[in-house]
Structure formats: C-alpha cells, structure tokens
Structure 1
Amino acid sequence: MCHFGMAKSILITGGARSGKSLFAERSIAKMGGAPTYIATARPQDDEMDVRIAAHKARRGAEWGLVEEPLDLIGALRASDTGPRLVDCLTLWLTNLMLAEADWRAAVDEVAGVLPTLDHPVVFVTNEVGLGIVPANALARRFRDAAGTVNQTIADAADEVFLVVAGQPLKVKPGAA
C-alpha cells in the first residue's frame, strides 16, 4: 500500500503482450484513491481502436482519463490528485520522435519531476532490446532511444518490475 504523503514511482517493463498493463492496473488499485490513466497512444487504425477499447473496458468507469501523446510533464502535473498510470513510455517516445521533439530532454524532465509529485505514478514501457538487432537504421535508433528512456526512468523510479508471461519480477526494490 502506498501512502499519499510520499510520492512513489514504479516502472513496469516487459515484452509485447506480457501482462504489463494488467499488472500496472492491479498495482494502482492497491494504492487507493481515484486513479488516472494517462494514455500516450494515438489511435491510428482499427486494430489500435480495438486495443484501446479493451483497455478502457477492463479498467472500468472509476478511472479518470488523460489522453496526452506528447506533454507527459503537463499530464503528470495536472493529474497529481491521486495515483496515475502512464501507458506507455514506448508510444510516448514514438510520438516525440515522429514530432522531431527533443526526446532526451523530455525524458530527463520526466525523471526530474518524479520526486516533486505528491501522488504515485506507475509507468508501463516495452523492453525492446531483447530481440535481434534491427536491419535498418531507423529501427536501431528507436531501439537505442527506448533503451535510454527505460534506463533513465528506471534510475529515477523507486521500484522496477519486469513482467514475463504475466509474472512480475521485481528488479529494483523500493525502500523498506
């Protein structure tokens, strides 16, 4: 159980369809308070629309929703009234790169704001560096950038979990 008097940040990583989001939602539910889902996805096709609808239905009506593909700092500050779930950092990075924004500065800003937040935040991200080396330069740049984002947020977070086949493994324990 997280007490709202002190901020708590958690990074949850894993492969595609590993159960990261469900584990994150369950973690937020244990924190109490009115949760907010910060969605970074931009629905671009019918398949993504179906995925987004499934996530919304699973969470239920008690969740607030902030849809913010770029300004994660603004979304975190504006929603600092209860626990937040940011899903996901990988899509956020994609959006920043497509917008040709300074993603390095943005991730450093997110990491830097974590200690100043009053309420917990759980980040979901994809672990993209476990596969083969991509064949093209753009995919390699994205993989490398995602690794930097994940490392930066993991360093700043109180706890880090790796989810494999729906099973969470704590890789960075928080303070006792």
Structure 2
Amino acid sequence: MTAPDLTFVLGGARSGKSRHAEQLAHTRASRLASPVTYIATARHTGDAEFSARIAHHRARRPAHWGLVEADLDLASAIAESDDGRTCILVDCLTLWLANVICPAEGEPCDDGAARMDALEAALARARGPIIVVSNEIGMGVVPMGAMTRRYVDELGRLNQRVAALARAVTLMVAGLPMTVKSEHPQ
C-alpha cells in the first residue's frame, strides 16, 4: 500500500538529500499554493558543531515555512500538521530513530517498535503531501559493536517500511537525485 503523496529522499552524509527535499517542498507548495511545515527531529545537545548544522538548515529554509520540533513523537507531529493541504517535510528519520533508541541521559530507553508502527500509520493516513528524509547507512561494512549494529539494522528496516509506503523514492548521490521508485497516481 502506498500513501497518497509520500516522497522519500535517501542518501549518505552530505549527499544533498536535505537540500533536494527542501527544493521539492518549495516546488510542490508553489504549484499547489500551499504552505510548508518543516518537522525537525534533531535534539539540541549543546554540541557547538551540531548546533551549527542546525543553524545552517534553518538559514536555508524560507522564513515563512512553519516549524515543528519532534524529537520523539513524530507520528503525532505529522498527524497534527496534516490538514490535507500543507506540504510536510520531515528531516530526518535518522536523527529521530537515534533519539528513540538512544535517549538523552535520564530518559527511559525505548525500543522504538511502537513509535515506528505509529509513524508508519501516520504516513499511511496522511491526506496532504509529505516528504521524508533519511540516511542510507547500510551500504558499508557491518559495524563493530552491538548497539551500532542494532541502530543500522533498525534504520534499514524503518527505511524499507517508509519506502514501501512512498509513491516516489529518490537516492541522492553526490548531489544528484537518482529515481529508485516512481508511482504516479491513476
């Protein structure tokens, strides 16, 4: 089953996936004369380098785009933002999953299964256009350490679930979009 208007953008670090997704959101919003809501999944850590990355993403986005921060409850953020008209851009599943299975100090550990099920359901029920960004991290060697292997495995499974729902899947390589899946509505 595919969601009505779900686009999934994957790629490695610095592959251009966020920029491409932002361009897609801008184009789609302009064509449909609709607003954009950006759902950010990064957790503010106090790390200066990571804060600079977040600032770079903010500076690149148009100021009139809405912003929702959802470091854990992504399904609810999508459901609450989905009015059938607004283009939703989720950036990114990679950070969201890290927040879920590697919580901040003092938070209870969450295996993520229920949250991933809820995310999949929210995407499947979406009425408006959604663009989801994620890293493709499973193309290398098997990582050392059980926790890292678990994270790579869980992200791979999550990416497969979202790709199965999506009408379009794009893999970004060196800033170039490569079409992996394209299903046009009947």
Same fold (TM over 0.5): yes
Q: 1:85 and 2:94 equivalent?
A: no
Residue 74 (structure 1) aligns with: 76
Residue in structure 1 matched with residue 179 of structure 2 by the alignment: 170
SS of the residue aligned with 1:162? strand
Residues 127-138 of structure 1 mapped to structure 2, 5 A cutoff? 127-138=136-147
Please name the residue that 1:146 is paired with. Answer: 155
Residue of structure 1 aligned with 2:127, choices 114, 118, 138: 118
Q: What is the alpha-carbon distance in structure 1 between the residues aligned to residue 182 and residue 79 of structure 2? A: 25
Pairing of 1:7-156 with structure 2 (within 5 A): 7-32=4-29, 33-44=34-45, 45-81=47-83, 82-99=86-103, 100-156=109-165
Deviation larger for 109-118 or 138-147: 109-118
SS of structure 1 residue aligned to 2:113: helix
Percentage of matched positions with identical amino acids: 45
Q: CA deviation at 1:174?
A: 1.9
Distance 1:90 1:130 in 2: 15
* CA displacement at 1:157 relative to structure 2: 1.3
Runs of 4+ in 1 over 6 A off after TM superposition: none
> Could you say what secondary structure the match of 1:60 adopts?
coil
Q: Is the CA contact 1:14–1:125 (under 8 Å) kept in the aligned structure 2?
A: yes
Deviation, 1:138, is: 0.9
Q: 2-side partners of 1:109 and 1:132: how far apart?
A: 30
State whether residues 12 and 122 of structure 1, in contact with CA within 8 Å, keep that contact through their aligned partners in structure 2: yes
Task: Give the paired residue count.
Answer: 171
| CA RMSD, 1 decimal | 1.4
Cα deviation digits, residues 10-50 of structure 1 (max 9, x gap): 11101000000000000011112111110000121111111
Instruction: Indicate conservation of the 8 Å contact 1:112/1:156, yes or no.
Output: no
Q: Flag structure 2 segments of 5+ consecutive residues without an equivalent.
A: 104-108
Partner residue of 2:106?
Answer: none
TM-score normalized by the length of structure 2: 0.87
Structure 2 residue matching 1:12: 3-state secondary structure: strand
Q: Is the 8 A contact 2:4 2:167 kept in 1?
A: no
